[in-house]
Amino acid sequence: MNHNGHHDGRDDQRVVITGMGVVTPLGHTVTELWQNLLAGKSAARKIDRFDASQYAVQICSDIPESGFDVEEYSHVIDKKEARRLDPFEQYAVAATWQALTQAGLVIDESNRDEIGVLIGTGLGGLIVIDNGYKALNEKGPMRVNPFTGALMLPNMGGGQVAITFGARGPNFCVVSACATGSNSLGEAYEIIRRGDALAMIAGASETVMTPFALSAFHRTQAMSTRNDDPTHASRPFDATRDGFVYGNGAGILILERLDFAKQRGARILAEFIGYGATDDAFHISAPVPDGNGAKRAIRRALQKAHIKPEQIDYINAHGTSTILNDAAETAAIKEVFGEYAYALPISSSKSMLGHLMGAAGAVEAVISVQTMLDGIMHATMNYEYPDPACDLDYIPNTPRAKQVDIAMSNSFGFGGHNASVILERWKN
């Protein structure tokens, strides 16, 4: 073993990642997303799904309806059935197909009872709910689509994936606001470690682009109103940051017990070695200013990975671009890592991707794996004005080559939810 012999070297306790898939505003495949991140491209733009001219927030990181065609996946899901789904369910199916394909994992009678699904979401089927309300108000109760009751449920991303691919192991839905993606991966890791599945389809999916959701999140005062300059609106850790830019997407990873992956000859992308989850117990939307909850999640993940703080080579930060969150996360990192915090490269994918809400942590875990595979860390874009409260190395504006052996990905959500996951480059 390469770090203190964690799990005593037992293959039935070790969990590896063998496949990844994404649908994001910066690309509908991992390759496309990764190339755009390294190129410093921003997904932020004016909202065009509906007329947002009367809204205080008029920008988003959306996947345009014209930009994603679920019919491209008609070889795995019936066209008519696919069109009925909320976009968050469509994205989950699409990202899962990509991840299973990369993993070379065929789900069949020999293994389907041992393969589970854990796909979280912050909000569930918002578009389906929105359409249902419209039908109710405009045409009456008998005109609400009979599928609405099922398709609006948060668990139906995972439900639809199980139905589509035939996975019959544990299946439920984590909902912890913006920590959802990381919590989903962490809980899937624990399901495998405790022996309840050989493999898990894990991650999160989100669709938030409705007028109601836009209004609601703006009222929390956490969103950027830099409407005249969308591509520079998300500026994590920068002194002039004024909030996040929100968007849609999904990230799915295939987690497997090491012996199962080896037995089927899978190419292993990375090992999942640590997970910590805590709560601030402080405020519904603001983090504890000193980052105490985040600090405890990071410490717990390090303990469970059996590694020292100095063994972390890179952090993919939660880095939302809100005044409070970036300062609290920085404080937590300094508290845990001490002097080493200043030598530790950190970047925020949200500077380009925007904030994919519940899906953020899952997509950022994919990005963290890709960072280790390629030996390059993407930049935090739009970092122009240093903030005395945020004084670490955020890899400003230019990607940086570095061999990353161990990466950490952090996610923190409304409700005080904190989750930290630790991934290791596969060397065996």
| Beta bridge partner(s), residue 132 | none
Compute the distance between CA of residue 280 and CA of residue 311 in angstroms, rounded to an integer.
26
- φ, ψ at 332 (rounded to 5°): -65, -45
Residue 252 CA, chain-centre distance (Å), reads: 8
Neighbours of 114 (CB within 10 A): 19
Q: Has 75 been annotated as catalytic?
A: no
| Selected catalytic residue, list 6, 28, 318, 417 | 318
Classify each residue of 254-293 as buried b or exposed e, where b means 16 or more C-beta atoms within 10 Å of its C-beta.
Answer: bbbbbebbeebebebbbbbbbbbbbbbeeeebbbbeebbb
| Selected catalytic residue, list 6, 60, 173, 355 | 355
Q: Could you please report the per-residue DSSP string of 179-221? A: THHHHHHHHHHHHHHTTS-SEEEEEEEE---SHHHHHHHHTTT
Compute the distance between CA of residue 359 and CA of residue 7 in angstroms, rounded to an integer.
29
- φ, ψ at 365 (rounded to 5°): -70, -40
Distances, alpha carbon 223 to alpha carbons 63, 127, 149, 238, in Å: 18, 20, 30, 15
Q: What angle do CA 146, 149, 153 make, to 5 degrees?
A: 145
| Selected catalytic residue, list 60, 173, 178, 390 | 178
Distances, alpha carbon 380 to alpha carbons 35, 287, 331, in Å: 15, 22, 18
Compute the distance between CA of residue 247 and CA of residue 183 in angstroms, rounded to an integer.
19
Contacts of 58 (CB under 8 A, 6+ apart): 46, 47, 52, 227
Q: Has 318 been annotated as catalytic?
A: yes
Q: What angle do CA 62, 297, 123 make, to 5 degrees?
A: 30
With residue 421 as reference, give the H or E element that holds it. strand 417-425
Task: Report which of 181, 158, 119, 91 is spatially closest to residue 413, judged by C-alpha positions.
Answer: 181
Rg (CA), the chain: 20
Q: Which residues are catalytic?
A: 178, 318, 355
